[in-house]
Amino acid sequence: MYASWTVRHKPKTLGEIIGNPQAIADLVSWLRSWEQGIPKKRAALLYGPPGIGKTVTVEALASDWSLELVEKNASDYRTEEAVRTFAGLASQYGTLFGKKRLVLFDELDGLTGREDRGGVGAIIKVVKQARCPIVLIANNAYNPRLSSLRFYCLLIQFKKPNVRSVAKRLRQICQREGIEPEEEALKFIAQRSQGDVRSAINDLQALAQGKQQLTYEDVSWLAYRDRKDAIFNVLRLIFYSKSCDAAKSAVDMADVDHNMLFEWIYENMPYHLRDLEDLARAMESLATADLYRSRIRQTRNWKLTRYVVDFMTAGVAVAREKTEPAGFVPLRFPERIKTLSRTKKERQTKSKIGWKIKRRCHISAAEAITEFLPYLRVIFENNAGMASGIAKWLELDDAMVEYLAGTKKQAKAIVKAD
Amino acid sequence: MWVEKYRPRSLKSMVNQKDIVERLKSFAEARNIPHCIFAGPPGTGKTTAALCLAHDLYGEAYREHLMELNASDERGINVVRQTVKTFARVRTLGEIPFKILILDEADNMTSDAQQALRRTMERFTGTCRLILIANYSGKIIEPIQSRCAPFRFTYLPREDQDAYLRHISESEKVQLEAEGLNAIYEVCGGDLRRAINTLQAAASLGKPISNEIVYSVIGRANPLDVREMIQLAMNGNFIGARDKLREMIVKYGVAGSDIIRQIHRELFRMRDIPELWKVKLADAVGEIDYRLISGADEEVQLSALLARFIEAGITMRRSG
């Protein structure tokens, strides 16, 4: 059954909500003050950017305190009349069934001038006479339209949660959905959402639903989802321009940095330049651009960047003599960027194994990787018994054994073999 | 690992480098050694000789009098300043008044670090003797060389390597065929460490070790399949050749410098390239090699080299 994860995994109690401890504490203590009679400010205005849990906080609070939540949001009309019918509800604290009541006006930013004519004024009237707590929610409390209302409200600011807590929340959801996520992948989604938890969860669902694992590779596309068209056009400009200027102008169109653009060109070029001599020339030009990159690294002279740009754009463009512009060629995400992130963990494991070998075999860790690792791999893939002895002697951990064994199955056999 | 299991413990059991071993034995008997440089190709017993020497000097507890440092893991001037000095300055207890510091891969040390070493060597000669181990003694600065007794290690002769491998396979009850032995020598050429590792990996397959087994192990361990990659490029399949290149670099972690060395070797072995073209392409290979040394991107540059092979293929086909 398809259900939105933002709904399915909505926090049910205050304890599950990430971030904003101060705002929540303020809200709770204001609500508590209602026990001692009607406080000075009868309404609380929660404000802050979208998707960070303002509404969810109120809902969880109502549920924790067993309050009856009466809610109105932008989908309802908020003309004066509509609000007034609402006012009756707000006129008493207790309900017929003994439950206390909480009135919520959500999405106040949605009050538009004409359709919600008089809406703000009506809300102010309701607030002034309220006999039960009223919570108002808006993105921007300093919207001029809300200025008169602001005066009657306790202002409580909600802030964006940090990347770590968003990632933590995503991990909990993955756990409940039975998905094994890579830490890097979650961090990437969290970072991209810029604190908007709701959109982060939506992204997560779009990328991970139905999968058992979520890798960095799966999500790295996300960054280019919006830019894909832009990159596509930039590359066509570089591959098919007849003039140096046009090809060079592509760099300004691309909203990725030079190194990233270089990778896109390098990856996609052979699929466009189908005449081999054209391709060979273009490749040589790209290599020249790379040469300038290494010169920049060595001399720290960034002025040389302009030559990198020349050779990776104009140089590639003029290399085309015979190739006719191709029809549709699917865009390819740079393989090297994918593998770079995917293999990061592997490389770490490898170097750790190097240090283990160093401890035993009187060799540097760096040299151990070239001199021993390839042979260990053969042994671990083929002979669980021998591998198990070596693993123990070198004191390899499970991750290292699995790296050398190649598969989980063989790694298990090795662990069992002793 | 068999490499460690069968590493000689004492100079007496070292089978090769006879001249060197004799001189080292006389040091051990005299209970005194100078600073030494052990230079020579990998897998020829430099580290083993140093460890054996220490063993014969101090007896079973030799590790207490010994420190091993690897220049490539902890190079730099600070290591020399601190670690080495601290170790060198403290006198050991026991009948031999000095300790031994083995500095492996010393040719990888920056020249600053080597300069710093110079003073340390002089000041603490009384309490510490150094054994510098290097592939190329030429990369060690003059002043240090002149303070050390030099020993040049050479590749093991065929008979010595064969004898050692036979000895191991008998102890391990592995069937080693004559062809297999041939193949190992063919591939490892007197590098005993590589030979023993190859032997053990081959033995792990659980079959008698024939030349086929050896080559399949080498193939799996070092999938340096440059021939196929070059062939793909010459036939005009750039994408296929680039995928091969990526497989080597990413999946097997082969270094760019190794790939280019292999390409260079393979180039002159290929029958279907005209002689003139071999020389022309060697220039391209050399240019790319030079670029890699100067720090350019391995994959991009090697891809450019593949493109040169494509061009060569086209021109060759045109001229028939």
Give bridge partners of residue B132 from the DSSP assignment. B37, B103
Q: Indicate whether B320 belongs to any domain.
A: no
- Tell me what pLDDT residue A332 has: 85
Q: Which residue would you say has higher pLDDT here, A36 or A224?
A: A36
Q: Tell me the pLDDT tens digit for each residue of A2-19.
A: 577 888 888 888 888 888
Cβ within 8 Å, pair B238-A378: no
What are the residues whose beta carbons fall under 8 Å from the beta carbon of A90, sequence distance 6 or more? A70, A101, A103, A126, A129, A130, A131, A132, A134
Cross-chain residue pair B238–A276, CB shorter than 8 Å = yes
> Which residues does chain B have within 8 Å of residue A369's beta carbon, measured at their own beta carbons?
253
| A294 contact residues in B (CB cutoff 8 A) | 291, 294-297
- Classified as helix, coil or strand, B132 is strand
How many angstroms away from the CA of B81 is the closest CA of chain A? 20
Which phi and psi angles does A17 have, rounded to 5°?
-80, 135
Q: End of a domain among B152, B184, B212?
A: B152
CB A282 within 8 A of CB A273: yes
B60/B94 Cα distance (integer angstroms)? 13
Looking at residue A38, what is its pLDDT? Answer: 83
What is the domain count for chain B? 3
Q: How confident is the model at residue A194 (pLDDT cuts 50, 70, 90)?
A: confident
Say if residue B146 is in the same domain as residue B59.
yes
Whether A139 has a pLDDT exceeding 90, the answer reads: no
In the listed set B194, B221, B248, which residue is the last one of a domain according to the structure? B221
Residue B319 placed within a domain: no
Q: What are φ and ψ of residue A79, in 5° steps?
A: -70, 165
Q: B287 in a domain, yes or no?
A: yes
Q: Residues B92, B121: one domain?
A: yes
Which of B197, B216, B260 to probe by mutation at the A interface, max A CB count within 10 Å? Answer: B197
Shortest Cα distance, chain A CAs vs residue B159, angstroms = 23
Facing A266 at nearest CB: one of B72, B300, B310: B300
B121 and B95 part of one domain: yes
Better-predicted residue by pLDDT, B155 or A417: B155
Separation of alpha carbons A224 and A210, rounded Å: 22
Distance CA A346, CA A339 (A): 10
Beta carbons within 8 Å of A257's beta carbon, 6+ residues apart: none
Contacts of B42 in chain A (CB under 8 A): 367, 371
Nearest residue, CB atoms, A286 vs list B203, B205, B300: B300
pLDDT top residue among A194 and A81: A194
Q: Is A277 in contact with B303 (Cβ distance < 8 A)?
A: no
Rounded to whole angstroms, the Cα distance separating B247 from B251 reads 5
Please check whether residues B299 and B247 belong to one and the same domain.
yes
Q: Which residue of B has its CA nearest to A297?
A: B295
The CA R_g of chain A, rounded to the nearest whole Å, is 30
Cα–Cα distance, B178 to B209 (Å, whole number)? 9
What residues of chain B lie within 8 A of the CB of A374, using their CB? 220-222, 252
Looking at the fold, whether B17 and B99 belong to one and the same domain comes out as yes
Flag if B307 and A279 touch (Cβ within 8 Å). yes
DSSP B114-126: HHHHHHHHHHTTT
Q: Treating both helix axes as pointing N-terminal to C-terminal, what angle do A258-272 and A305-312 enclose, rounded to 10 degrees?
A: 20
> What proportion of chain A, given as a percentage, has pLDDT over 70?
87
Contact A290 B253 (CB under 8 A): no
Kindly state the greatest CA–CA separation across chain A. 86
Domain check: are B133 and B169 in the same one? Answer: no
Which pLDDT belongs to residue B114?
Answer: 81
CB contact under 8 Å between A363 and B47, yes or no, is yes
Chain B hits for A387, CB-CB cut-off 8 Å, are 204
Q: Which residues pair with B176 in a beta bridge?
A: B209
pLDDT in 10s for each residue of chain B, 320 residues: 998 999 999 988 887 888 888 888 888 888 888 889 999 888 899 999 999 999 998 888 888 888 888 876 765 566 666 777 777 777 777 777 888 889 888 887 777 778 878 887 877 877 888 899 998 888 888 888 888 888 999 888 888 899 999 999 999 999 998 888 888 888 888 889 989 999 999 999 888 888 888 888 877 766 567 888 999 999 999 999 999 999 888 777 777 888 898 899 888 888 888 888 899 999 999 999 999 988 899 999 999 999 999 999 998 888 86
What Cα–Cα distance (Å) separates residue A108 from each residue in A6, A104, A136, B30, B75?
21, 10, 7, 94, 64
Mention every residue, 6+ apart, whose C-beta is less than 8 A from residue A170: A181, A186, A189, A190, A200, A201, A204
> Distance from B24 to chain A by nearest Cα, in Å?
20
Confidence (pLDDT) at A79: 63
Domain extent for B133: 2-152
Contacts of A321 in chain B (CB under 8 A): none
At A36 the pLDDT is 83
Please indicate, yes or no, whether residues B80 and B103 belong to a single structural domain of this protein.
Answer: yes
Q: What CATH number should be reported for the domain holding residue B276?
A: 1.20.272.10
Q: Which residues of A touch B52 (CB under 8 A)?
A: none
Q: Do A382 and B206 touch (CB under 8 A)?
A: yes
Do B107 and B239 sit in the same domain of this protein?
Answer: no
State which amino acid sits at residue B177: E
Q: What is the CATH number of the domain that holds B37?
A: 3.40.50.300
Query: Domain check: are B128 and B177 in the same one?
Result: no
Contact residues, chain A, for B193 at CB < 8 Å: 371
What are the chain A neighbours of B246 within 8 Å (beta carbons)? 335-336, 339
Helix, coil or strand: residue B17: coil
Instruction: From B98, B19, B119, B117, select the one nearest B54 (Cα to Cα).
Output: B98
Of A279, A291, A365, the CB nearest to B73: A365
How sure is the predictor about A1, in pLDDT bands with cuts at 50, 70 and 90? very low
Asked if residue B44 is part of any domain, the answer here is yes
- Tokens 């707590």 sit at which residue? A133
Provide, as residue numbers in chain A, all residues whose Cβ is less than 8 Å from the Cβ of B54: none
Question: Do residue A293 and residue B3 have CB atoms under 8 angstroms apart?
Answer: no
| Min distance A311 CA to chain B CA atoms (Å) | 13
From residue B316, alpha-carbon distances to A276, B237, B274, B276, B319 in Å are: 14, 15, 8, 11, 5
A266: closest chain B residue by CA:
B300
Please, what's the largest Cα pairwise distance for chain B? 79
Identify residue B57 by its one-letter amino acid code: L
Statement to judge: residues B148 and B59 lie in one domain = yes
Which of the four pLDDT bands, split at 50, 70 and 90, describes residue A228? low
**CATH code of the domain covering residue B187:** 1.10.8.60
Task: Please name which of A130, A131, A133, A155 lies closest in space to residue A142, comparing C-alpha atoms.
Answer: A155
> Cα(B207)–Cα(B184) distance, rounded to whole angstroms?
16
Question: Do residue B36 and residue B58 come from a single domain?
Answer: yes
Does this complex have an ipTM over 0.85?
A: no
In a domain, B234, yes or no: yes
Give me the phi and psi of A161, to 5 degrees please: -70, 155
Nearest CA in chain B to A384: B204
Q: Do B255 and A383 touch (CB under 8 A)?
A: no
- Look at residue B188 and tell me if it is in a domain: yes
d(CA B146, CA B144): 5
Q: Who among A358, A362, A386 is closest to B204 (CB)?
A: A386
- CB contact set of A100 (below 8 Å; sequence gap of 6+): A65, A66, A67, A68, A93, A94, A132
Those residues whose C-beta lies under 8 Å from the C-beta of residue B113, and which sit 6 or more positions away, are B71, B75, B76, B77, B79, B80
Give tens-digit pLDDT for A84-129: 666 666 666 555 556 688 888 887 776 655 555 567 777 888 888 8
User: A382, B204 in Cβ contact below 8 A?
Assistant: yes
Q: Which amino acid is at B165?
A: L
Nearest residue of chain A to residue B234 (CA atoms):
A276
Which residue carries 């040390």 as its tokens?
B109
Q: Is residue B128 classed as helix, strand or coil in its secondary structure?
A: strand
Shared domain for B217 and B248, answered yes or no, is no
Q: Please answer whether residues A414 and A380 qualify as being in contact, where contact means their C-beta atoms are separated by less than 8 angstroms.
A: yes
Q: Which of B120, B137, B152 is the last residue of a domain?
A: B152
- Name which of A280, A343, A378 is nearest B250 (Cβ-Cβ): A343
Q: What is the mean pLDDT of residues A39-65?
A: 89
